[in-house]
Homo-oligomer: A and B are copies of this chain.
Amino acid sequence: GDDYYMRLALQMAEAAVGQTEINPNVGCVVVKEGRIVGLGAHLQRGMAHAEVHALNMAGEQARDATVYVTLEPCSHHGRTPPCADRLIRERVARVVVAATDPNPQVAGRGIARLREHGIAVTTGVLEHEARRLIEPFAKYMSTGRPYVTLKTASTLDGKIASATGDSKWITGESARAFVHTLRHRHHAIMAGIGTVLEDDPQLNTRLPVPGLHPVRIIVDSQLRLPPSSRVVQDRSARTVVLASDQAPAEKQAELERLGVEVLRCGEGPRVDLAKAMDALGRMEIGSILLEGGGRLNGSMLEQQLIDYIYLFFAPKLIGGNGPGSFDFSGFARMHDAIRLEQLTCTAFGTDFCISGKPIYGNL
């Protein structure tokens, strides 16, 4: 039934996660008399929407066809003309939609426009799966801020390093490979200046096949970032530094000469993270993988800026007073703690990963 083709559309949309910036991941299948005649997905911001690719492939067979699309076709002129108009022009017979537009101001308009032109529209097919796929887009649309996924890896006693700072390697290869996939699936990677000063990481994706290099975001209130660090020297990806207004202007100038973008967020001694999210949203960063130390993770969590969490645990007990994954003032009562919902437990070699959505009910 309809599920069959919508699932294929979702598979194509899912495969392109990480490559559409602030745009949603959308897939489209065109079916004519029981035959698939067009396939498409939105592949790059500013380029053709999923429907356009699929209708191009279908050619003349689009006429009287049924079009399966995971997100309601757009009805407004953006970087590309509205897909609803294209569908009307192609004289398709029916459009099957998984999820309506998450932007409440636009939701339903595309569908209404199709119906006005006599095209039958079915909605709600595999809606749940489609909604999960566009959660980052939905958040960006409704708040103007990027969707933030936190990833951390610790021992079973919650340490991300030994007392002397050794953190190589907490988790094994299988977990680390998955982290590179996570990076590929986000628009940006965010880390604190502490991590940069200690490890001088490259903060890019190292997949068996080349991945997109996400934007690197460094939280660096006082602009301590050394010009010699890899995230400055390596030009394969943009580097954005978040600084407080108090940071020295000459350091900003020096970094900018080296191609680094500096974003001032907040007057205090430390970066105002909520303002930073607004600023990153204005820069059209749609999703961020946060790989911070305990302080940055804790601050982001405290300000409810995190949308999803992956906690990797290695089967080790390290002891000592090394740092943990989350450093924030916290709650007096256990009952008020942040809860994780829709919990999933996945094994990666001898490590395992707990993931879920934080619920900030009692902050």
Q: State the CA gap A57–B184 with chains docked (Å).
A: 22
Q: State the CA gap A157–B193 with chains docked (Å).
A: 22
- The reply on A348 being an interface residue by CB < 8 A is no
Q: Which of B33, B155, B298, B332 contacts A166 (CB 8 A)?
A: B332
Tell me whether A157 and B317 are in contact (CB under 8 A).
no
Within the complex, the shortest CB–CB distance from A18 to chain B, in Å, comes to: 8
Quick one: which of A294-325 are within 8 Å of B by CB?
Answer: 298, 301-302, 311, 313, 315-322, 324-325
Q: State the CA gap A66–B211 with chains docked (Å).
A: 12
- The reply on A207 being an interface residue by CB < 8 A is yes
Tell me whether B163 and A330 are in contact (CB under 8 A).
yes
Tell me whether B34 and A166 are in contact (CB under 8 A).
no
Tell me whether B19 and A40 are in contact (CB under 8 A).
no
Quick one: which of A326-341 are within 8 Å of B by CB?
Answer: 326-335, 337-341
Number of copies: 4
Q: What residues on B are CB-neighbors of A266 within 8 Å?
A: none
- The reply on A44 being an interface residue by CB < 8 A is yes
Within the complex, the shortest CB–CB distance from A271 to chain B, in Å, comes to: 19
Tell me whether B155 and A337 are in contact (CB under 8 A).
yes
Q: What residues on B are CB-neighbors of A207 within 8 Å?
A: 1, 34
Which B residue sits closest to A38, measured CB to CB? B43
Q: State the CA gap A354–B345 with chains docked (Å).
A: 11
- The reply on A350 being an interface residue by CB < 8 A is yes
Known: A40-B57, A43-B37. A354 touches B162 (CB 8 A): no
Q: Which of B33, B56, B322, B338 contacts A317 (CB 8 A)?
A: B338
Q: What residues on B are CB-neighbors of A326 within 8 Å?
A: 157, 317, 319
Q: Which of B1, B37, B334 contacts A170 (CB 8 A)?
A: B334
Q: What residues on B are CB-neighbors of A37 within 8 Å?
A: 43-44
Q: State the CA gap A11–B10 with chains docked (Å).
A: 11
Q: State the CA gap A234–B41 with chains docked (Å).
A: 38
Q: List 27 A-B contacts (CB under 8 A).
A: A1-B209, A4-B209, A8-B15, A11-B11, A34-B205, A34-B212, A35-B43, A35-B212, A39-B41, A56-B56, A57-B57, A156-B311, A157-B326, A158-B324, A163-B332, A166-B332, A166-B335, A315-B341, A317-B326, A317-B338, A317-B358, A318-B331, A318-B338, A319-B326, A319-B328, A320-B330, A343-B352
Q: 10 shortest A-B CB distances, which residue pairs? A: A319-B330, A158-B158, A320-B330, A1-B208, A34-B211, A316-B337, A34-B212, A315-B340, A319-B328, A318-B337
User: Given A56-B57, A158-B324, A319-B338, list of 17 further CB < 8 A pairs?
Assistant: A2-B208, A5-B15, A5-B209, A12-B12, A34-B211, A34-B212, A43-B57, A53-B57, A156-B340, A162-B337, A298-B319, A315-B354, A316-B334, A316-B339, A319-B326, A319-B331, A319-B337
